[in-house]
Amino acid sequence: MLGRLSKLPALLLVLVAAPAAFAAAEPLRENCLELRLQQEVNSYSSKAGDRVQAVLIAPYRVDGLERIAPGARVWGEVVDVRRVGVGFVHETATLTLKFTEIELGQSVRVVVNSRVLTIDNARERVDSAGRIRGIRSTNTPGFRASGLLTSLASVDPIALAFSTAAFATLLRFSEPEIRLQAGTELVLELLDPVDLAPLPPPLLGLPEPVPDDLLERLPFRTHTVERRLESDITNLIFAGEAAAIERAFQAAGWQVPESLNSATRYRTLRAMAENQEYKEAPMSLLLLDDQPPVQAWAKALNTFSKRHHLRVFSTTERWLGRPIFTAAATQDIGINFSRGRDLFTHLIDENIDRERSKVVNDLLFTGCIESVGQVPRPWVPEEAFNSSGQTLITDREAAVLVFNDCLRVHRFDEPIAAAPGPHRGNRASRILRQTVLTFRNDIYRGSLWYQGATILTQGFRHYRDSKNSIRSLPGPTITGTPAKSPKLASDPADWAPPSVELSLQAGLMVFSHQSIGAEGLRIAHPHRPDDSLTLRAANRVAPAFALGGAVTVNQFRWFSHELGFGYQRGEFSMDLAGLAGISEQRSGFLTRQFSYNALVHMRPRESRWRPYFAVGPVLQLVHLTDAPFTKAGGIFRFGLNNVGMFRAAYGFGSVPPLEGGGIFQTGLQMGGGVRYRVSPHWTLRFDYRNTCSPRPDLLRKSLEPQIMPERLERGKIAQQRLSLGFAFTF
């Protein structure tokens, strides 16, 4: 399971997560071969006709009898390949592999007719013709969420600039090219039967039976920490030294998961949003007999939503002179929204015996196992539910593996040939591909109508699938009755240095110089040019409120990067002198700011108190609130929203301010503040910013012919913002 994931930034992903997350595990048929590639194949550089070599990693059986032993070489070729390239023609990549020969000995090869059925733990899917289909980069949950929010922000060009830059900082553009590295595992379906004689029985049986009383003493049901809900069932027993077990899993390509803390939660959320790999993703903590695991292992490919994983628990038992460990292994096959529990949870393959076989085959391939067998446990239930309410089905047997010293291992990813070439192109081509694919997506799917319909459709699918896939009941507990969740002490690992902060602030905007100059106007009679009126307009701004948000990336120990958006409002007053009876005119004075600040901290990243200084450029848009914002219209309302907003922003900047336009300005922002990390995920912050910018010539831009240059009194504008806010911290 994912464990507890911070809910606020993840909530939008519930609405936009891909429906493919609910795919069930492909049942392994008897006429299938489990292979491991021994060389890289990718859609960017591989060519049709390229030879491909793989190795069999699990026995091929017919009628329950072994016909081909693991280790046999399997040969094939690339039949067809289509790369995305720069994205002008295709949005997704495809790759077709055809394996035709199995090497049984030095000079014995069997011709087979096969197709690729599935790729283990891959984000790519395989269609009915055996064609591997890559992902669409603009269809990831993160891209769809950013596209929706960017579309909503596009009514404001400054907000659009901030949202575009913020998402580009927080999320990577998912690579659409297919890359199957050496070590990638796939399942091959034999389309025609292969007539082979059964092999002699393997000689890896257990040297002696495992005592029944020993098996009965081993606990078999894990439980959660807080509510003590029953969860996974153990299905593996290891006899060997802990160091040998560790070397075996490393040689088999399994990874040690990272600890669950604020930083790894952010990486988890990012991997989900981008549909990217995170092979060291943390696992939730489960206990066996109230003891935590002594080892945890996971094996993934290129997506966070699918992986093999297991937890290894120590026992006090010994057998064959070796210490005994027991393990619970399951396979994650997707991610689901869990109502009433943690926001997200992994869906698992309910047939946990398949994962038991996967672990056994992987470890046998390393050469670290000297004997293996299966033992019955009639006291284990055939069907149960884990802590998320998902079904667990088992034959109630456990695989017993006896380890040698594991000093001479056979690694899982030993390549036999070099990669065919780069798998995604150089930086320039990637930037061009991202631009083209994004533009194509905006044209086809950029309207709010399309995105709204998509979210509603997928939201309904999530509701339906989550309702059917996970029981609504909390499930049994170890004590037999629901237990109240105790308040756990804070884990020091959860206070890992923050990676990203998403903050909101509110406060007061003060102008250090309320007078921002004066302008002289000469208004002539339209029919009598010599008959004119001379006026003097004095401009002032009064303090008001300020709202803002920021994305802070704590990339270094003493320095951070911050992108900010500020919504600051004051009161603009214009006094007209020169004509009796003219009263003071007032309007709201609105400033929207997009800023970049380099933060220099007085204390290191791991400190909870962090005073800092800030400096950086600002792009701002100033206009009077009585002159409404210009919006996109016409065809831009329906399909070219982002393009239309840029057009509207350009027009807004060229329209006179008194006729509904605004003034774009650049400025320099300086300031500082202090941040205090209250909890692993919440930070309080006090900020001061002073933005210096040129005086906005609101009248001169609107009444250029009437302005009298000799009566122009230059002022300056310095916007000082004092704000208090909070940040959600990863």
Which positions ≥6 away from 261 have C-beta within 8 Å? Answer: 282, 491, 493, 494, 495, 496, 680
Instruction: Check: CB of residue 685 under 8 Å from CB of residue 510.
Output: no
Which bin fits 49, alpha (ψ -120 to 50), beta or left (φ > 0)? left
pLDDT, position 446: 63
213/220 Cα distance (integer angstroms): 14
pLDDT, position 474: 42
**Mean pLDDT highest for which of 166-180, 337-351, 445-459?**
166-180
Sole residue written with tokens 């941040």: 675
Q: How is residue 351 annotated by DSSP? A: B
Q: Is residue 157 pLDDT above 70, yes or no?
A: yes
Instruction: Check: CB of residue 249 under 8 Å from CB of residue 366.
Output: no
Encoded tokens for 730: 């990863």
Residue count of the chain, please give it: 730
Encoded tokens for 163: 């949202």
Encoded tokens for 381: 């239930």
Name the β-bridge partners of 477.
229
Encoded tokens for 276: 């990217």
Burial class (CB in 10 A: 0-12, 13-18, 19+), 643: middle
Question: How far is residue 234 from each of residues 38, 119, 362, 567, measured CA to CA in Å?
Answer: 32, 26, 18, 56
H-helix or E-strand spanning residue 241 = none
Query: Predicted confidence band at 533 (pLDDT cuts at 50, 70, 90)?
Result: low
Encoded tokens for 19: 């429906």
Least confident of 34-43, 431-440, 573-582: 573-582
Sole residue written with tokens 């003590």: 228
What average pLDDT score do residues 264-289 get?
87
> Please, what is the angle between helix 262-274 and helix 141-153, to 10°?
90
* Strands 397-403 and 236-239, bridge-based pairing: parallel
- At 360, phi and psi to the nearest 5? -60, -45
Query: Predicted confidence band at 425 (pLDDT cuts at 50, 70, 90)?
Result: confident
Q: Is residue 331 pLDDT above 50, yes or no?
A: yes
pLDDT, position 581: 54
Q: Which regions of the chain carry the CATH code 2.40.160.20?
A: 497-729
Query: Predicted confidence band at 669 (pLDDT cuts at 50, 70, 90)?
Result: very high
Q: Is residue 29 pLDDT above 90, yes or no?
A: no
522/579 Cα distance (integer angstroms): 12
Q: Is residue 512 pLDDT above 70, yes or no?
A: no
* Strands 114-119 and 286-288, bridge-based pairing: unpaired
pLDDT, position 9: 47
Q: Is residue 340 pLDDT above 60, yes or no?
A: no
| 56-79 confidence digits (pLDDT tens) | 999 888 887 888 889 899 999 999
Encoded tokens for 450: 């399309």
Which positions ≥6 away from 532 have C-beta within 8 Å? Answer: 522, 523, 524, 525
Query: Predicted confidence band at 648 (pLDDT cuts at 50, 70, 90)?
Result: low
- SS3 string, 410-455, reads CCCCCCCCCCCCCCCCCHHHHHHHHHHHHHHHHHHHCCHHHHHHHH
What average pLDDT score do residues 450-460 get?
66
pLDDT, position 22: 35
pTM of the model: 0.78
| 700-715 confidence digits (pLDDT tens) | 655 555 554 545 555 5
What average pLDDT score do residues 425-441 get?
87
13/15 Cα distance (integer angstroms): 5
Name the architecture of domain 25-135+174-202: Beta Barrel (2.40)
Instruction: Check: CB of residue 285 under 8 Å from CB of residue 260.
Output: yes
Q: Is residue 94 pLDDT above 80, yes or no?
A: yes
| 169-212 confidence digits (pLDDT tens) | 888 889 999 999 999 999 999 988 888 888 877 767 888 999 99
Query: Predicted confidence band at 694 (pLDDT cuts at 50, 70, 90)?
Result: confident
Q: Is 33 in a helix, a strand, or coil? A: strand
pLDDT, position 42: 94
Q: Is residue 629 pLDDT above 80, yes or no?
A: no
pLDDT, position 164: 79
One-letter identity of residue 552: T
138/608 Cα distance (integer angstroms): 38
One-letter identity of residue 114: S
594 versus 582: the higher-pLDDT residue is 594
In terms of Cα–Cα distance, which of 20, 270, 276 is closest to 145? 270
What average pLDDT score do residues 566-586 get?
66
Q: Is residue 111 pLDDT above 50, yes or no?
A: yes
What average pLDDT score do residues 359-382 get?
92
Q: Which regions of the chain carry the CATH code 2.40.128.260?
A: 25-135+174-202
What average pLDDT score do residues 508-531 get?
62
Say which CATH topology domain 497-729 has.
Porin (2.40.160)
User: Chain-wide mean pLDDT for the chain?
Assistant: 79
Which bin fits 366, alpha (ψ -120 to 50), beta or left (φ > 0)? alpha
Long-range contacts of 675-679 (CB under 8 A, 24+ apart): 675/501, 675/609, 675/610, 675/612, 675/727, 676/608, 676/609, 676/610, 677/495, 677/498, 677/608, 677/610, 677/729, 679/490
